[in-house]
Chains A and B, each alone.
Chain A
Amino acid sequence: MKHRCAAALLAWPLLAGADSGVPAAVATVVSGGYWQAEGRSGSYRVVVALRGFETVGSRVIVEWVAGPKTADDAAAVVAAVEPALPEGEPVTWTANLQRVLPGCVRITLRGVNTMLPSQRSTRTVWALAPGQIELSEARSAKPPAACRGAAR
């Protein structure tokens, strides 16, 4: 009994809430690649966050994260875009990020409709300069012209 009480006391602070700074809705994060623009540089990050209650769906947000320039500086999100995915809300997405060229990454999104799991889809998002994305149908392996241009 003593052990049980001790365990409960130890667990309480965790259950009472802890703020790591990461929103609780965030389900997965993938990052990689490299971009440069206007004197800043950094990596791409894809955040998948859950939303809803009766039916859960996910939001996908593409972010451009600039690294700190000095020891006193902090990393910062300089741009964020939520691709308009036509499948609608009740879809949970998983994201995979692949570096293609400097200034361009391919993000492959695989979605499952949470209300009708037999409905699945795949989308490709190309992330380019900060704030710029291109959404492609299905598994488009060929980088868009803007992606090829980004390397120059």
Chain B
Amino acid sequence: MSNPHARNADLALLHPVFRTKVSEVLAALANEKVPFKVFEAYRYPERQADLFAQGRTTPGNIVTYAEPWRSYHQFGLGVDFVLFIEGKWSWDTAGSKKGWWKRMQEIGRECGLAPLDFELPHMQLGGTSSNALASGLYPADGDDSWAENLDAAIMGWAGNPAAPARPQVAQRPGIA
């Protein structure tokens, strides 16, 4: 498991159904020369706790309302697409860039991803809910890469709120 407090953009840790859709979005955007990259993919609960603490029990502004295990990032089902221009991340929405953000969300929707209101960068897998995920109800067809990482995150978490159920082996694809 990589540093659980650091930002992580490794698509291999995403649920494979979601990973495929994210890759499709990236390919479609690249095809249209719209310069988005994945800024953050899997987020460990430790980092979510760090973010949640900010502006509450640690210095800074509030940056999230999502506690650990309340963010789709903790389940490998959420990513943040951000413009990457000349080696720099950009959230710029001025001029033509406004259209790029709109196009990213359009393509995301076409590929089966769901945006959140007032959060341009964030896209997540549709058809599930925070409550279902917190109850351990995960999308089917998870693979080893996703399940092993999620399992390690669950087993390594001793904070509050409590971790959800471990992913079931039966949810993984069978051995060919």
Contacts and interface: CB of A to CB of B under 8 A. Distances in A.
Interface of A: 50-57, 84, 86-92, 112-117, 119
A1 B160 CA distance: 25
Interface of B: 39-40, 60-66, 71-73, 78, 80, 82, 89, 91-94, 101, 116-122
B60 A89 contact: no
B60 A117 contact: yes
Given A54-B73, A115-B82, A90 B65 contact: no
Given A92-B62, A115-B63, 16 more contacts: A51-B118, A52-B118, A53-B119, A54-B65, A54-B66, A54-B71, A54-B116, A55-B63, A86-B92, A88-B93, A89-B119, A89-B120, A90-B121, A114-B64, A116-B89, A117-B63
Contacts of B60: 112, 117
B39 A115 contact: yes
Nearest to B82: A115
Contacts of B89: 116, 119
A90 B120 CA distance: 8
